[in-house]
């Protein structure tokens, strides 16, 4: 076996594919090395450590998700755009379970500030443009829509809906209904100019760029929520 001429990008891509095929936890340096026909130690020239591999999958996945969202909402607005947004997430989660799991882990600083993360946020906000949310409610809406989508897909992936595929599709339909309804009659006031209670719109301005994904990725697992 001569030189494989690996690159960091190639290693990360292989890692992401391995995660999709064998499950997120199967992404070990050893398994990855086996996959690439190389000794484990050799990978450390291309990748700092295992955590860097996982972070790499996260960012890779973020970019791919942004691409999918982009095409899913193209030429659509309002409820249709929202449908495209959530469907893009669901299809991505189903087709790329390992990549999707990576998105649920806390993102490292660099990933959170990455161009991919910003693209995802921009696309979500583009969808919200079809609803007339007060400026200050954008952040909250992003968080809640993200929470619901990720929460639902998490439950689905964990098998909580197992063996009831028909009902699951109906539930998914309700997700769209509920979110569309919520955005249409947003509690903070639905008028473009902040109407009134219970939030003081304008108090929270739009997120400064660079603050990164303010509430859609990453998601669960409180691994380091240790106090």
Which spans of this chain sit near DNA (rule: CB under 7 A)?
Answer: 1-6, 28-31, 33, 37-42, 44-46, 49-51
Restricting to residues 82-101, which ones interact with a second copy according to CB under 8 A? 93, 97-98, 100-101
* Nearer CB in complex with DNA: 51/206: 51
User: How many Cβ atoms from other residues are within 10 Å of residue 146's Cβ?
Assistant: 20
Residue 51 interacting partner from a second copy, DNA, none (CB closer than 5 to 8 Å by kind): DNA
The rounded distance, in Å, linking the Cα atoms of 88 and 83 is 8
CA distance 117 to 127: 16
List the beta strands (DSSP E) in 48-113: none
* Binding flags for a second copy, 34-73, as an x/- string (CB under 8 A): ----------------------------------------
- Residue 192 near residue 186, CB atoms below 8 Å: no
CB of 33 to a second copy, least distance (A): 20
In the shown chain, the binding pattern of residues 150 to 189 toward a second copy, with x for contact by CB under 8 A and - for none, equals xxxxxx-xxxxx--x-xx--xx-xxx-xx--xx--x-xx-
Q: Residues 79, 181: contact at Cβ < 8 Å?
A: no
Pick 55 or 59: Cβ nearer DNA: 55
Q: Considering only CA atoms, which of 39, 209, 189 is closest in space to residue 121?
A: 209
């Amino acid at each position: 076996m001569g030189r494989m001429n690996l690159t960091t990008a190639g290693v990360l891509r292989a890692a992401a594919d391995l995660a999709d095929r064998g499950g997120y936890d199967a992404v070990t340096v050893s398994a990855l090395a086996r996959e690439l026909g190389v000794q484990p130690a050799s990978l450390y020239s291309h990748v700092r450590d295992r955590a860097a591999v996982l972070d790499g999958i996260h960012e890779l996945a973020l970019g791919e998700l942004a691409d999918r969202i982009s095409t899913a909402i193209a030429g659509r607005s309002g409820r249709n755009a929202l449908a495209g947004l959530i469907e893009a997430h669901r299809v991505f989660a189903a087709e790329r379970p390992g990549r999707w799991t990576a998105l649920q882990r806390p993102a490292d600083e660099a990933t959170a500030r990455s161009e991919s993360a910003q693209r995802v946020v921009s696309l979500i906000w583009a969808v919200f443009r079809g609803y007339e949310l007060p400026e200050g409610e954008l952040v909250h809406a992003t968080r809640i829509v993200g929470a619901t989508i990720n929460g639902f897909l998490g439950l689905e992936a964990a098998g909580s809906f197992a063996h009831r595929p028909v009902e699951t599709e109906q539930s998914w339909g309700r997700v769209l209904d509920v979110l569309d309804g919520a955005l249409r009659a947003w509690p903070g006031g639905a008028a473009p100019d902040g109407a009134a209670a219970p939030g003081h719109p304008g108090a929270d301005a739009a997120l400064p760029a660079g603050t990164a994904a303010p509430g859609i990725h990453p998601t669960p697992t409180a691994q380091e929520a240790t106090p």
